[in-house]
Structure 1
Amino acid sequence: MDTELSSVLIVEDEPDLANLYTAWLESEYNVCTAYDGSEALDAIDETVDVVLLDRRMPELSGDTVLETIRERDLDCRVAMVTAVEPDFDIIGMGFDDYLVKPVSKAELHHVIEQLLLRSTYDEQLRTLFALASKKALLDGEKNEAELAASREYDELEDRLAVLRTRVDETVAAVLEGGDARQLSQDIASSGSEE
């Protein structure tokens, strides 16, 4: 298994469809397939980047699998890929995207790319906020001469400048991908959690 490739878990109880999705994706991602909810929960761990999750499955539904993923606090993105038309019940669900079957190869690739891009953005923002917090703390504790004399402080400022540029580039890529609505929802939801 190539560790450089992002990892995608396909959770689909229709074997033909699961195998089709796998064939579409396996050249670009490390793909694992689970044919029911229990298999999905056994297969998912911290190495999985994206989960493509069917909602309607016998025994353990996709909704239950999703709840369990979020309860385990796994850092992965989840796209529901389902024949269930969205209704108001989706408001409280912890998925990142929702595709209604049938889906095309291009749609699957697009949603995975966007989810991975948003994951990169999230990590960049966490790092940016951590570095900005350290800079603010030092700005409040040290005088101008101490800050100007510090090589570490200069390196911190350089890292912040580079990271700000990367965040801007990632935002531009997300917006270019037509995912502006989801990005604004991510920003709004992150602000409401604090």
Structure 2
Amino acid sequence: MMSREERIVGMVEIRTVSEFDINEEIHQHLQVLLCECFGGGYPVDRIYFKQMPHVRFLAYKEDHLVGHIACDYRVMNLNGERINVLSLIDVCVSFNMRSQGIGSQLLKKADGFCHDRDIDYILLFADEPDLYERNGFQRVQNRCKWLKINDKNQTTYGIGNEVINELMVKAVGEKCWEEGELDLLGYLG
């Protein structure tokens, strides 16, 4: 059965689920939530956009999936130095459950997950920074290099290299973030 860590926050239960433990029921509920939150651009045949994550934080209210964060544990290169990063992907809360603190609860869960682990930073890309800034993230201006993946047919088609204004980070280790070159050593996410 599913190995999971659970935490009750108010009326919301947040579960930590390994990607290996996603069963058909969770898969179906995730598909509905992700398509609701990200609209017609989200794949209807899978529960990830470009690459499967390692772990997910799932928010349930009265046994209904209402929020989600997917996480990749990755090595990246910041100005020639190797850093360990928990990359947050597809952060979302169901439309009818927004503005109730669920997004912040999920982010706090991700932050707590990082403590006492070999993780230097939490990283994400956000069009709307307000929620993340309220939870300790900061916008940074780094030239990013990444592997371009066609999300429709899942093929590699090049290397991207530019400043991405949506990049946000939160230090969870002892290292301080630096501006400069960030090589994601993989896909953008």
Q: What TM-score results when the alignment is normalised by the length of structure 2?
A: 0.31
Determine which structure has the larger helix proportion and give its number. 1
Q: What TM-score results when the alignment is normalised by the length of structure 1?
A: 0.30
Determine which structure has the larger strand proportion and give its number. 2
Per chain length, whose mean CA-contact separation is higher, i.e. which structure has more relative contact order (CA < 8 Å, sep 6+)? Answer: 2
